[in-house]
């Protein structure tokens, strides 16, 4: 136990934090009473406060491209660097996030599971289905220079439970579908439920992604594995 703590401390000293990647899901005016749903929801007011507090403290927000660039270029790194990501592709992001982020010129990334676009397939963990962005809405938002679109598989499966062929299919098909529909290169991926193992991470590399993100793990640190980049769930409490 003590040894593990010392090892962790040493790791942190030898691998300084470079940036944080915030992970969000839904931004809603009225949060659910169900704990499982509530934990994935923040209000627009709370999000605005988080963003403004970070800016007031001298922090800055960057795109995933800039984050990746700075990961390779130690001289470019700055303290207080944050990249903001939203998983799933709920429509509220357009209504609640876009005006705020445009006003403050904050880049953001949306990780989209292609089966969820337009609500074509239900999202299993919501009692009441969230409104999802349509193909046209996604095409419109991706033209905003602040927006990066990333893939989040086709059907949002538990990737570690699939065969390697199925994993590859989820990773390559989602990328292809987004690239064909949106006419942009898709470079980034986030693991559904944050679940990944060596085989899944290898599939992400083979599928041609530049980087892939998990769902927890704290700050991104020097010499981080590009296919195992941590994020910080931004959770509004209570
Ligand atoms: Zn997801």
pLDDT confidence of residue 69: 94
Q: What is the pLDDT of residue 16?
A: 86
CA 1 to ligand 1 centroid distance, Å: 33
For residue 25, the CA-to-ligand 1 centroid distance in Å is: 8
Distance of CA 93 to the CA centre of its chain: 13
Per residue in 51-87, pLDDT (tens digit) is 999 999 999 999 999 999 999 887 778 889 999 999 9
The pLDDT assigned to 220 comes to: 95
The residue that leads in pLDDT, 172 or 76, is 172
Specify the long-range contacts of residues 60-67, CB closer than 8 Å, at least 24 apart. Answer: 61/104, 61/106, 61/107, 61/108, 62/19, 62/107, 63/107, 63/109, 63/146, 63/148, 64/107, 64/109, 64/148, 64/150, 64/187, 64/188, 64/211, 65/148, 65/187, 66/107, 67/19, 67/21, 67/220
CA of 152 to the centre of ligand 1 (A): 7
- The pLDDT > 70 percentage for the chain reads 100
Terminal-residue alpha carbon distance, the chain: 31
CA of 221 to the centre of ligand 1 (A): 23
Domains and CATH numbers, the chain: 18-233 (3.20.20.370)
Identify the weakest region by mean pLDDT among 119-128, 189-198, 210-219, 226-235: 119-128
Token digits for 210?
Answer: 């530049």
- Using a cut of 0.75, tell me whether the model's pTM lies above it: yes
What is the mean predicted confidence (pLDDT) over 164-191?
A: 97
Computed from CA positions of residues 143, 145, 151, 152, in that sequence, does the dihedral angle turn out positive or negative? Answer: negative
CA of 202 to the centre of ligand 1 (A): 20
| CA distances for 135 relative to 10, 68, 172, 205, 211, angstroms | 47, 27, 19, 26, 24
The Å distance, Cα 220 to ligand 1 centre, comes to 20
Q: What is the pLDDT of residue 75?
A: 78
pLDDT tens for each residue of 107-144: 999 999 999 999 989 998 888 899 999 999 999 999 99
Instruction: With beta carbons less than 8 A apart as the criterion, state whether 110 and 141 touch.
Output: yes
Tell me which residue of 129, 124, 126, 119 sits closest to 38, measured CA to CA.
126
pLDDT value of position 179: 98
238 vs 52 pLDDT, higher one: 52
Q: How far is residue 105's CA from residue 145's CA, in Å, rounded to a whole number?
A: 10
Per-residue confidence (pLDDT) for residue 204, from 0 to 100? 98
Residue owning tokens 């006003």: 103
Distance (Å) from CA 232 to ligand 1 centroid: 14
- Cα 231 from chain centroid? 7
> With 90 as the cut, is the pLDDT of residue 3 above it?
no
Q: What is the pLDDT of residue 197?
A: 96
Q: How far is the CA of 54 from the centre of ligand 1 (A)?
A: 25
Ligand 1 centroid vs 156 CA: distance in angstroms? 6
């Amino acid at each position: 136990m003590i040894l593990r703590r010392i090892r962790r401390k040493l790791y942190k000293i030898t691998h300084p934090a470079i940036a944080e990647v915030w992970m969000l899901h839904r931004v809603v005016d009225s949060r659910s009473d169900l704990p499982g749903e509530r934990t994935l929801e923040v209000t627009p007011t709370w999000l605005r406060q988080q963003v403004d507090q970070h800016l007031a403290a001298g922090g800055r927000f960057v795109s995933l491209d800039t984050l990746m660039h700075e990961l390779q270029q130690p001289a470019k790194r700055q303290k207080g660097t944050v990249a903001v990501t939203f998983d799933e592709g709920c429509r509220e992001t357009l209504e609640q996030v876009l005006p705020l982020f445009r006003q403050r010129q904050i880049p953001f990334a949306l990780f989209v599971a292609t089966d969820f676009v337009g609500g074509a397939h239900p999202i299993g963990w919501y009692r009441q289905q969230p409104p999802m962005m349509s193909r046209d809405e996604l095409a419109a938002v991706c033209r905003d220079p602040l927006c990066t679109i990333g893939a989040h598989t086709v059907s949002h499966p538990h990737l570690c439970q699939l065969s390697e062929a199925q994993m590859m299919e989820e990773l390559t098909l989602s990328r292809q579908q987004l690239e064909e529909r949106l006419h942009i290169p898709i470079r980034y991926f986030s693991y559904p439920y944050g679940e990944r193992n060596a085989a899944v991470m290898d599939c992400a590399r083979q599928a041609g992604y530049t980087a892939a993100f998990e769902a927890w793990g704290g700050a991104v640190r020097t010499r981080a594995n590009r296919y195992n980049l941590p994020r910080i769930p931004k959770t509004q409490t209570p």
